[in-house]
């Protein structure tokens, strides 16, 4: 009798274990779905736009907000990328000593012109040294509607995660300030491939 009574609770215990395993399985599925819905790469499909002039476009494995590095606006006032939340930001790091940077600047100006009146801001940030600032300012002045932004301490390139491997580097942030994609090297930012990328980010906000 004692052996039979001791064996009776086992089915109930086994049932509890099954319910526990099932609950863990459901939780895992919910977690995976939640991760997919909050991962910009998974939900927005940016990799589909890595073609043509944007073939070198990369999407972050761990999307991060823009760094809080101080840069300087056209009036020489300190600003941060976070000041432009609410807009899609196309950040371009460039310098006058960088031939690919100089070559692609007219295309960035064309991109900025195309999105005038829309919540898209093309920020061409010069990393020229203080002694070259005037030269860089004159150069940007020839590429309206771009405005002159500068990072004379060259900090922003290193504060990106991962750091910019060289110049030019272009990073695209959503209106929430989270990185969506980046491209290292020169590209035609005035072409249809680039506009498709920006349109996608703009429409996903």
SS3 (DSSP) at 173: strand
- In this prediction, residue 34 carries a pLDDT of 33
Please name the residue ranges forming H helices in the chain: 2-7, 9-38, 40-44, 99-114, 133-141, 156-159, 192-204
CB atoms under 10 Å from CB of 168, counted, come to 26
Nearest to 61 by CA among 200, 205, 199, 181: 181
- In this prediction, residue 204 carries a pLDDT of 78
Residues 123, 201, 63, 94: what is their CA dihedral angle, to the nearest 10 degrees?
A: -20
Residue 178 is given by DSSP the state B
Task: Give the contacts of 141 (CB within 8 A, at least 6 positions apart).
Answer: 148
Q: What's the whole-model pTM score?
A: 0.78
Q: Residue 14 — pLDDT band, cuts 50, 70, 90? A: very low
The 3-state secondary structure of 35-74, one letter per residue:
HHHHCHHHHHCHHHHCCHHHCCCECCCCCCECCCCCEECC
pLDDT in tens, 25-55: 333 333 333 333 334 443 358 889 999 999 9
Is residue 138 within 8 A of residue 102, CB to CB? The reply is: no
Q: Is the pLDDT of residue 156 over 90?
A: yes
The phi, psi pair for 191, rounded to 5°, reads -85, 175
Distance CA 122, CA 172 (A): 9
Give the least confident one: 27-31, 61-65, 162-166, 181-185.
27-31
């Amino acid at each position: 009798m004692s052996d039979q009574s001791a064996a009776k609770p086992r089915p109930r215990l086994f049932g509890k274990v099954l319910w526990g395993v099932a609950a863990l399985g459901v939780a895992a599925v919910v977690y995976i779905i939640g991760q997919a819905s909050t991962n910009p790469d998974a939900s927005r499909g940016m990799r589909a736009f890595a073609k043509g002039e944007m073939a070198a476009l990369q999407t972050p494995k761990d999307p991060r907000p823009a760094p809080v590095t101080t840069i300087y606006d056209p009036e020489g006032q300190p600003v941060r990328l976070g000041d432009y939340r609410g807009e899609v930001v196309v950040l371009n790091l460039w310098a006058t000593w960088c031939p690919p940077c100089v070559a692609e600047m007219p295309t960035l100006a064309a991109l900025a012109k195309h999105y005038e009146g829309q919540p898209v801001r093309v920020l061409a940030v010069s990393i020229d040294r203080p002694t070259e600032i005037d030269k860089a300012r004159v150069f940007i002045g020839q590429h309206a509607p771009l405005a002159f932004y500068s990072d004379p301490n060259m900090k922003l390139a290193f504060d990106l995660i991962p750091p910019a491997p060289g110049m030019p580097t272009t990073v695209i942030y959503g209106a929430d300030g989270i990185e969506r994609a980046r491209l290292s090297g020169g590209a035609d930012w005035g072409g249809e491939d680039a506009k498709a990328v920006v349109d996608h980010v703009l429409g996903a906000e």
